[in-house]
Copies of this chain bind each other. A is one copy, B any other.
Amino acid sequence: MPDARRHRRLAILAEGHLNHNDAKTAVGILRYSDDRVVAVIDRTNAGRDVAAIVGEVAGRGVPIVADVGEALAYGPDTLLIGIAPVGGRLPAAWRAQLFAAIDAGLDVVSGLHMFLEDDAELVASARQRGVRLWDVRKPAPHFAQRIRQDLSHRPGSHVIYFAGTDCNVGKMTAAVELDRAARRRGHSSTFVATGQTGILIAGDGVPADRVISDFLPGAVERAVVPAAHQADWIWVEGQGSLLHPAYSAVTLGLLHGAAPDAQILCHEAGRTAIRHYERRAIPPLSQVQGIYEQAAAWLKPAPVVAVVLNTRLLSEDEARAAVAAAAAETGLPVDDPVRFGAERLLETVTSAVERLG
């Protein structure tokens, strides 16, 4: 069902998870997708406006409704399961909503670890009603079981990996912002998506955390090498963190599979520990920088050339102070492309990467 050309009209199912920490799929789609969000389903916030809950300008005027039945008034053609719970399973209570959507003729898109395609009742319903199911996290066949071959990238291409101090700090956002800024500047540029929200936005990509571990670097290589053949600037969405107690293997598979020329380190200002693993303090940025540079260099050197600081929780003054402090600590250029625009960061990064040769 992936079809980047079609502009969907989405109802996003976010039941009980519509806050900024959990709603990264909804926010990502609102900001960056060609699809239009016509309603968000969350019984606990029904009657309110999406912008009021997630603090996202793009959510203005998008109604929150109680269930699929109410969402139908806004003319959706697709139901998107718009949360990414730990473990990725489909809450049992949501299945009724899925059947209601299918009965109403909506396609269903899911980023869960549990595949809709493996649910015989859903599949039978969808077939009977003539609607489509898209499991965004299911690796496409050419990504599913491929061993990495250690291929080189086209000379002249620049592959940039977005490293993170943690999950959900803004790696995808930074990558999309830089890709768009590069295209606006007339660069040959592409974004390589590696998570469900990125794949929904780009219409294609590697669902990295769902690939069998033996094949993860091979899948990423299969995405990045052709991208570097076609474009000069390749912005590869990162996942997790090398410091993450649960997801470090996903991160390393992406880093080594992408074999970047340079990295951008992403962090959320004010976050002091790994989310859901509070006893795991996040070390100083300069130390995290060293860790990513070491790990990359086991196969190919890839210096960190900039820090992206997500300052969404700070005031404007606090944000400027945090940027200055991070710059002083790391000696690197630091910016927040969402708050301050991506143009200056793009200029900084492209200059630094071109100096690498």
Contact = CB atoms under 8 A, between A and B. Distances in A.
Contacts of A248: 217, 252-253, 256, 298-299
A86 interface: yes
A147 B214 contact: no
Interface centre among A242, A250, A291 (most CB of B within 10 A): A250
Contacts of A145: 87-89, 113
B246 A277 contact: no
B209 A214 contact: yes
Interface residues of A, number: 40
A249 to B, nearest CB: 3
Given A147-B87, A150-B277, A294-B294, A217 B246 contact: yes
Given A87-B147, A145-B87, A250 B298 contact: no
Interface in A255-281: 256-257, 277, 279-280
Contacts of A209: 212-214
A256 B243 CA distance: 10
Number of copies: 2
Contacts of A210: 212-214
Interface in A210-254: 210-214, 216-218, 242-243, 245-250, 252-253
Nearest to A298: B243
A256 B245 contact: yes
A208 interface: yes
A295 interface: yes
A148 interface: yes
Contacts of A291: 294, 298
A245 B277 CA distance: 30
A247 B209 CA distance: 15
Contacts of A298: 242-243, 248, 291
Given A113-B145, A145-B113, A291-B298, A150 B213 contact: no
A147 B217 CA distance: 20
B299 A249 contact: no
Nearest to A299: B245
A216 B250 CA distance: 9
Nearest to A256: B248
A150 B113 CA distance: 21
A91 to B, nearest CB: 15
A289 to B, nearest CB: 13
Interface string A74-116: 0000000000001111000000000000000000000001000
A258 to B, nearest CB: 12
A113 B218 CA distance: 15
Contacts of A299: 243, 245, 248, 280
Tell me which of A208, A214, A250 has the highest count of chain B C-beta atoms within 10 A of its own C-beta.
A214
Nearest to A89: B145
Given A211-B213, A249-B252, 4 more contacts: A87-B145, A212-B212, A216-B249, A243-B299
